[in-house]
């Protein structure tokens, strides 16, 4: 019905373990996101410069044990995460999350 | 051989909904089926009262059942139950009583988006649907003028929630209700976001089949907020036929695509001018541009609305043309577009029922 390729959509967003996030995609692929790495990839304007794309979030300023407290859906295209360090302004689009998949298959395909 | 309900259902399995491309029985459309000797009676429950193929389906169903040996009479009632596209909504969402939210968008201003919104909403309401119209064009709210509304909405004191104004069978809310004509909204994004949230969450809409949202032109804060706050059913893009308008309309389409919000279709407004004196057709802005764009982008063309003085005059008088001159060619164009829109929403809702919503279990 719509032109071009559809954006990737998750089937389920849940836990990989106590703190890490797991996404099961509609095409069957599974992605696991380590909590702290996902926090450091926050795309909000406070963490990434809107004009240059330069990362502003300082890794050493983020607690080692940072983890999501809650995950909320945003419209049909993204999720927002409430982090244990109080940060909560990032909107992680499904598209971004799909590219952040760190599995062996996706990493080699990306290179 | 005695006629049984099974015979009737078997016959009805051969009748398809041309839009949903499935038969009436497996779609669950057949209700209250009774067989009394040779007399058969049932209801066909459509997914929208504005169904463009309702008469066709009724005729086909009648023909199919009449052909069963032993059937002497067939009584068919037509009803409708609008399906919701909001199944992806987490429990306790912002608008649990609204089944479908349809933003009306355009790339640029001045294409007649508000006039199209008002007439589409009224056409849907006339078909028997429960319809709301949210004027989210906070900068230039024109819906109150188009619908001849001068009153102010009332507030429920205990909860501080607002009742929409009811006019011509529509429930209407507009920024224009809360501002003096000489005032202007000069706001940054967060205030706009808050207003959209309030229009959705604190207005007492009640049960609605369709909520049409008249957006400001362009691809800004209001559009983004709306798509973030709720899983919208799908957007309608209004454009005039010129290339320049269509090129910008494509930006609106791209925005919705980025937000994973479907585009239900394009409506070409000011499609052609028909001289009321001589009947000559003049394509002032060219014509068919939206049809070509729709084809290229594989988006349905929902309708082509002519550039006609009576549309403008009826809008200025506060009584849109689908009410003031329902038999006119312009009004018919709006009714046809509303039916096409309702059909696309039904298709979308049925697809939504089949596709699993995103489950967040964290």
Tell me which chain B residues have a C-beta less than 8 angstroms from the C-beta of A15: 361-362
Any chain B CB within 8 A of the CB of A18?
no
Q: Look at B221-235, B325-339, B340-354 and tell me which has the smallest mean pLDDT.
A: B340-354
Report which of residues A21 and B90 the model is more confident about: A21
Instruction: Reply yes or no on whether the pLDDT at B242 is more than 90.
Output: no
Structure token pair of residue B271: 């499609």
pLDDT at A34 over 90: yes
**What local confidence, expressed as pLDDT, does residue B183 receive?**
83
The confidence band for B12, taking pLDDT boundaries of 50, 70 and 90, is very high
Stretch A30-40: mean pLDDT: 95
CA distance A78 to chain B (A): 8
Cβ-Cβ contacts under 8 Å, B362 against chain A:
13-15, 21, 68, 70-71
Q: What is the pLDDT of residue B362?
A: 86
What is the pLDDT, as a whole number, of residue B354?
A: 52
Task: Tell me what pLDDT residue B244 has.
Answer: 80
* Closest Cα in chain B, distance from residue A103 (Å): 20
Instruction: Kindly identify which residue of chain A lies nearest to residue B234, measuring between CA atoms.
Output: A76
- Once rounded to an integer, what is the mean pLDDT over residues A72-97? 92
Percentage helix, strand, coil for chain A under 3-state DSSP, each rounded to 5: 20, 30, 50
Query: If you count residue pairs, one on A and one on B, with CB atoms under 8 Å apart, how many are there?
Result: 77
Reported CATH class of domain A10-110: alpha beta
Q: Test A2 with B257 for CB contact under 8 angstroms.
A: yes
What confidence tier does A7 reach under pLDDT thresholds 50, 70, 90? confident
CA B357/CA B337 separation, integer angstroms: 29
Q: Please state the rounded mean pLDDT for residues B67-84.
A: 93
Residues B90-114: pLDDT tens digits?
Answer: 444 677 889 999 999 998 899 999 9
Work out the angle between the directed axes of helices B243-258 and B221-229 (0-180°, nearest 10).
Answer: 40
Beta strand pairing call for B263-268 and B235-239: parallel
pLDDT in tens, B287-297: 788 888 888 88
Asked whether the beta carbons of residue A14 and residue B361 sit closer than 8 angstroms, the reply is yes
Taking only residues 303 to 362 of chain B, the set having a beta carbon closer than 8 angstroms to any beta carbon of chain A reads 356, 358-362
Record the tokens describing residue B323, joined without a space: 């009410």
Q: Percent of chain A, pLDDT > 70?
A: 93
Give the pLDDT confidence score for residue B357 in this predicted structure: 64
Decide if pLDDT at B74 tops 80: yes
Check CB contact of B32 with chain A, cutoff 8 Å.
no
Domains located in chain B, CATH noted = 5-80 (3.30.300.130), 101-354 (3.40.50.300)
Per-residue pLDDT tens digits for B204-235: 999 999 999 999 998 889 999 998 888 888 99
- Residue A4, pLDDT score: 41
* Residues B349 and B355: beta-carbon distance below 8 Å: no
Once rounded to an integer, what is the mean pLDDT over residues A22-42?
Answer: 94
Closest residue in B to A69 (Cα–Cα): B362
Q: What is the pLDDT of residue B237?
A: 95
Q: Mean pLDDT throughout B260-267?
A: 91
Asked if B102 is an interface residue toward chain A (Cβ–Cβ < 8 A), one would say: no
Spatial distance between the Cα atoms of B86 and B50, rounded to a whole number of angstroms = 20
Residue B353 pLDDT > 70: no
The closest CB to that of A9, out of B90, B299, B358, belongs to B358
Q: How confident is the model at residue B348 (pLDDT cuts 50, 70, 90)?
A: confident
Q: Does B90 touch chain A (CB under 8 A)?
A: yes
The residue among A24 and B189 whose pLDDT is bigger is A24
Q: Are strands B210-214 and B101-105 parallel, antiparallel or unpaired?
A: parallel
CA distance B322 to B330: 8
Is it the case that residue B184 has pLDDT exceeding 60? yes
């Amino acid at each position: 019905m719509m032109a071009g390729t559809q954006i990737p959509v998750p089937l389920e967003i849940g836990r990989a373990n106590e703190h890490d996030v797991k996404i099961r995609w509609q095409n069957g692929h599974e992605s696991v996101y380590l909590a702290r790495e996902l926090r450091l990839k926050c795309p909000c304007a406070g963490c990434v410069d809107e004009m240059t794309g330069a990362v502003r979030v300082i890794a050493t300023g983020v607690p080692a044990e940072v983890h999501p407290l809650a995950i909320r859906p945003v419209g049909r295209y993204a999720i927002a995460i409430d982090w244990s360090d109080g940060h909560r302004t990032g909107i992680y689009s499904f598209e971004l999350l799909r590219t952040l998949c760190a599995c062996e298959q996706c990493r080699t395909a990306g290179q | 051989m005695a006629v049984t309900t099974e015979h009737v259902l078997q016959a009805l399995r051969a009748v398809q909904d041309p839009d949903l491309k499935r038969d009436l029985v497996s779609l669950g459309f057949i209700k209250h089926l009774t067989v009394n000797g040779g007399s058969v009676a049932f209801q066909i429950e459509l997914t929208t009262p504005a169904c463009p193929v309702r008469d066709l389906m009724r005729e086909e169903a009648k023909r199919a059942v009449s052909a069963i040996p032993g059937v002497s009479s067939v009584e068919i009632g037509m009803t409708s139950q609008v399906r919701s596209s909001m199944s992806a909504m987490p429990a306790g969402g912002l608008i649990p009583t609204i089944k479908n939210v349809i933003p009306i968008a355009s790339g640029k201003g001045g294409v007649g988006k508000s006039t199209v919104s008002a007439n589409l909403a009224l056409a849907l309401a006339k078909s028997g649907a429960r319809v709301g119209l949210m004027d989210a064009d906070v900068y230039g709210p024109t819906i109150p003028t188009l619908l001849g509304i001068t009153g102010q909405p009332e507030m429920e004191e205990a909860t501080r929630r607002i009742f929409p104004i009811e006019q011509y069978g529509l429930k209407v809310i507009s920024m224009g209700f809360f501002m003096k004509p000489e005032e202007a909204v000069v706001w940054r994004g967060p205030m706009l976001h808050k207003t959209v949230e309030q229009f959705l969450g604190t207005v007492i809409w009640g049960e609605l089949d369709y909520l049409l949202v008249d957006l400001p032109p362009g691809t800004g804060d209001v559009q983004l907020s709306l798509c973030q706050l709720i899983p919208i059913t799908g957007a309608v893009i209004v454009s005039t036929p010129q290339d320049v308008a269509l090129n910008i309309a494509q930006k609106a389409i791209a925005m919705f695509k980025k937000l994973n919000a479907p585009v239900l279709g394009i409506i070409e407004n000011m499609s052609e001018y028909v001289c009321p004196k001589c009947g000559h057709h003049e394509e002032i802005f060219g014509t068919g541009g939206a049809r070509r764009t729709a084809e290229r982008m594989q988006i349905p063309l929902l309708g082509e609305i002519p550039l006609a003085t009576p549309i403008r005059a009826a809008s200025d008088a506060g009584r849109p043309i689908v009410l003031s001159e329902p038999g006119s060619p312009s009004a018919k164009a709006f009714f046809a577009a509303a039916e096409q829109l309702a059909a696309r929403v039904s298709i979308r809702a049925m697809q939504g029922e089949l596709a699993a919503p995103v489950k967040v279990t964290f």
